Copies of this chain bind each other. A is one copy, B any other.
């Protein structure tokens, strides 16, 4: 089967680029002497997680208990559920922890106490990370606060919790306004975490592991001294946002959406394609870095590395995408029925809208891999 046999919209995955991205990050983790625990929320795919394991990944990271269950059922036995635990999920989490090593994350003392009580009642012991805010200011304890020390000490001392260490995500890397800020954030991520770990150790709380990671920071970081684990996710595919941030080049983007032109009116300055918000997501992309904000870059069906500089996906509705050209002649080749590939703003959200990848080597569809996007 070739690309041109696929129905549109279709999610295309370039296997050569994927393998190169996997090799690059595995090599980076080795050279920085940290374990790689990739975040599978990006791909939600057993085949890709196995490729990560084959390249030395130590365990995986997930963002929901549903993902944790799916991967545990498939034999993955060391899983960090890197999302703040709330009391309503303790029973589900402990049930799953009977079948696989499930590492939990907390940033709330009352929840940690409820977890200890529940684990004690079941005579279970569960590994737990302390979520730390290294600058994103979304979740996680303030590492300069007394509360952070108090919570770390509780996790360290609670008899039915095993204290894994400190975990953070430098998501503010996605908010930079110029590429030169990225390395600063990567260094801040390490510095904040290492300083907090030292402070805890000085006060008598052992910190086994410091875990950091985002694709932008891990793409540029040069020194992870004092850190033992990284958890990037998006690097397997990259996307238009990562290109804008400076994490990668267009040629490193492994996932594109194949789409057909479905409307092109005479004299119009736009065409309509069959990739809308349910094929690309409404993720706004790197608006603060983009001179021309858009919902996706446009490339040829067959040579996707050739991004068309004067075409852009400018808006989306549920199943419609609008591609505009800077001049009407840019649209001349886009008759109804012709096809292009869209490089999405955000690969993670795009993937979660499809049931499967069409896996490509060049123009040949060599496989179809299921996307485990189950929500219940």
* A contact residues vs B (CB 8 Å cutoff): 7-10, 41, 63-65, 83-89, 92, 107-108, 110-111, 114, 131, 133, 138-142, 145, 147, 171, 260-266, 272, 274, 277-278, 281-284, 317-320, 322, 335-337, 339, 348-349, 352-356, 374-376
Contact = CB atoms under 8 A, between A and B. Distances in A.
Given A138-B320, A265-B142, A283-B277, A374 B349 contact: no
Given A84-B263, A89-B260, A278-B352, 5 more contacts: A7-B88, A63-B318, A110-B336, A139-B263, A140-B263
A374 B371 CA distance: 12
Contacts of A374: 355
23 contacts: A8-B89, A9-B375, A83-B262, A83-B274, A83-B320, A84-B263, A84-B336, A86-B260, A86-B337, A110-B335, A111-B336, A111-B337, A114-B337, A133-B265, A139-B262, A140-B265, A147-B266, A171-B317, A277-B281, A278-B352, A278-B375, A318-B349, A355-B376
Nearest to A88: B260
A145 B348 CA distance: 43
Contacts of A352: 278, 318, 353
A116 to B, nearest CB: 15
A148 to B, nearest CB: 10
Nearest to A107: B263
B263 A89 contact: no
Contacts of A266: 145, 147
Nearest to A283: B282
A110 B145 CA distance: 68
B349 A375 contact: no
B355 A262 contact: no
B319 A282 contact: no
A170 B318 CA distance: 15
